Amino acid sequence: MLWGMTLRIALLVVLPLTCRWALPQELPRGRIIEKVACAANPGQSYALYLPSRYTRERQWPIVYAFDAGARGLLPVQRFREAAEKYGYIVAGSNNSKNGPINIVEDAVRALLADTDSKFSLNPKRMYLTGFSGGARVAVSVGFSLQGRVAGVIACGAGFPYSIMPSASVPFSFYGIAGNADFNFPEMRELDRNLAEYGIAHRLNAFSGGHDWPPTKACMEAIEWMELQAIRSGLKVRDDLLIDSLYAEGVASARSSEEAKRMYEAFVQYSNLAQDFDGFRDVAHLKARAKQLQAHAEVRKALALEREIEKGQLRAETAIARLLQDAVTGDRRAFAVQELVGTLDGFRKQAAQKENERDRLTAARVLDSTWIRLNEAAAFDLQRGNYRQAISNLEIMARIRPENPQVHFQLARSFALAGDRKGALRSLEKAIEKGFADLSALQGSPDFESLKQDPQFQKLLQKLASGKR
């Protein structure tokens, strides 16, 4: 878990970032490349998007992306449209993930060094983005590279807990979170703190949970960074762009208001007034936002969010206590039963559509519990505590019974624990739910004890044939 980390990447500060272009070969433009190996360390790689108009005759802004699970391709896919429109390079690490910390540090160093050697980069317009633990990586890198990072786009999480917001934050900050994301309260609080310190900031919410934001939200993040670059002098003033973004924003706010989505309109007018202050006369936008703030629907939405945050905190506290009792308490069996029943209740709440407060509360609680259990199971597997890992994974399977990876990890844990029947049962369930990675089974030493088992061989054949 990297929530409290501070990356030890001081060596990055001495990277020249002067575009040496060490390798002569040309990489394709205008399409996503899933894997570019780092020249100095082929074990490190990244997904890449070069704009179709990329040339070495000018310097280009770049977005470095860090995913909690080393999925470098995913953020590149989400930012591709914005990168093409506004002329950004996007590079997503295929190695950086939620720990250990030395893996993250090595991945960051390799990514920055290799892109600097291959591409013509604008040394003043480096941007960082990340999801969940990757967002905390992005923030930590931003602080390590004081003055070299223009902006951070943090998705689904904010600052590492070892770094507190202050007036010395050295970059513009754009936060994005789903309204059902368990970290949404954290992102709101961070947004308020950055406002108090006068840091350029924005929080954008989308309809969804703990995940990378959709393409539209990524486009809006890049457009906001374009405005900040103009405001700070990193980009030549472009009145056509300012006019276009302003007109689009005002039209969207008015459309929300006409559709009677008053809270959405209130947020849009408020953001427009802040974003375009100094570029346009925004007095009427501020006035309209103030009027809408008094609207009954807006007051109700603000009160609803406070209720959801309180309900989330209460539920997470209760579940944490049950998890502790389920692991070490005297009433372990009862705690497990109570925990499973509680989580099943939240699953039903999250699936219903009648009560938005209960739906969002339940969705956030399920996600936060899932993350807690996933990290605990990974920790136990690393240390050989296979039975405890199985307990955590079985609870995870109650939260997301259709997730094939949970059942695969259960099979792996059972196999390592010497429980052949449990391993085969879970593996069959994983395949039934969509698990299709034949190489993960054939090449994994964790399943060595099963390789001569006829049922295991049948499951391999089933996977190879593509049958479910």
Residue 468 is predicted with a pLDDT of: 56
* Distance in angstroms (rounded) separating the CA atoms of residues 131 and 97: 10
Tell me the pLDDT tens digit for each residue of 53-78: 999 999 999 999 999 999 999 999 99
* Distance in angstroms (rounded) separating the CA atoms of residues 6 and 268: 34
Grouping H, G, I as helix, E, B as strand and the rest as coil, residue 69 is strand
Name which residue leads in pLDDT, 348 or 330: 348
What average pLDDT does the segment 165-179 reach?
96
Confidence check: pLDDT of 23 > 60: no
Tell me the pLDDT tens digit for each residue of 81-116: 999 999 999 999 999 998 778 899 999 999 999 999
What average pLDDT does the segment 18-39 reach?
77
Tell me the pLDDT tens digit for each residue of 385-418: 999 899 889 988 988 899 999 999 999 999 999 9
- How many CA atoms are closer than 13 Å to the CA of 136, on its beta-carbon side? 24
Q: Among residues 162, 279, 174, 282, which one has the least CA distance to residue 225?
A: 174
Please give the class, per CATH, of domain 10-237.
alpha beta
Residue 161 is predicted with a pLDDT of: 87
- Computed over every residue of the chain, the mean pLDDT equals 91
> Who's near 264: CB < 8 A, 6+ residues apart?
256
Token pair, residue 376, equals: 């605990």
DSSP for 137-198, please give it.
HHHHHHHHTTTTEEEEEEES--S-TTS---TT--SEEEEEEETT-TTHHHHHHHHHHHHHTT
Confidence check: pLDDT of 4 > 70: no
> Who's near 193: CB < 8 A, 6+ residues apart?
165
The burial class, CB within 10 Å (0-12 / 13-18 / 19+), for 33 is middle
Task: Please state the separation of Cα 2 from the chain's center in Å.
Answer: 13
Residue 329 is predicted with a pLDDT of: 64
**Residues above pLDDT 70, as percent of the chain:** 94
Residue 10 is predicted with a pLDDT of: 45
| Local structure of residue 40 (DSSP, 8 states) | T
Residue 325 is predicted with a pLDDT of: 85
Tell me the pLDDT tens digit for each residue of 31-47: 999 999 999 999 999 99
Confidence (pTM): 0.87
What average pLDDT does the segment 431-457 reach?
88
What average pLDDT does the segment 153-165 reach?
94
Residue 444 is predicted with a pLDDT of: 86
For the chain, residues classed under CATH 3.40.50.1820 are: 10-237
Confidence check: pLDDT of 300 > 90: yes
Confidence check: pLDDT of 313 > 90: yes
Confidence check: pLDDT of 374 > 60: yes
Q: Among residues 204, 111, 108, 195, which one has the least CA distance to residue 156?
A: 204
**Residues above pLDDT 90, as percent of the chain:** 77
Tell me the pLDDT tens digit for each residue of 243-273: 999 999 999 999 999 999 999 999 999 999 9
* Distance in angstroms (rounded) separating the CA atoms of residues 213 and 234: 26
